[in-house]
Amino acid sequence: MTAPVVVDKSVQEARDVIANLQTALLGMEQLVMEPVHHFSGGLYARELTLPKGSTVIGKIHKHAHLNVVLRGHVTVTTPFGTEDIKGPCIFESKPDTKRAVYAHEETVWLTFHPTDETDVDEIEKQIILPDYSDKLALENV
């Protein structure tokens, strides 16, 4: 029998704040943003342009991965804190990170994920958690 996984209270509270913001935003008109998908030699990159003044809630990524903000300025809140990011900037995301992002300027953001898959739906199954009820999410805090 394995011991129960304990999630730090402040991390859980931050997750709840982001989830509540997402619920509130879903009641508003939705911004349609089409990602650009890039593939090369076992690497998938997803590029998204966030319009100035937009608030975007990201998905929960299973694994650590690299992010590149090519240009722009955003404030990013995760269960691990809040920070301002100005492009150009490269940083690593922790596993199980879900973000609330506010774009102060139009911002171009890329994420990079190792995979040989080229079907975006299949890639999402590999890299995205549907919610924090998944045991993997709790183990990586």
- pLDDT tens column, 114-135: 999 999 999 999 999 988 765 5
Residue whose pair of structure tokens reads 């953001």 in the numeric block = 109
Domains and CATH numbers, the chain: 36-139 (2.60.120.10)
When pLDDT is cut at 50, 70 and 90, the band that residue 8 belongs to is low
pLDDT, position 7: 53
- pLDDT tens column, 84-123: 999 999 999 999 889 999 999 999 999 999 999 999 999 9
| Structure-block tokens of residue 107 | 């911002």
Per-residue b/e over 75-86, b at no fewer than 16 CB within 10 Å? Answer: ebbbbeeeeebe
CA distance 56 to 137: 21
- pLDDT tens column, 32-78: 899 999 999 999 999 999 999 999 999 999 999 999 999 999 999 99
> ∠ at Cα 24 (126, 86), nearest 5°?
65
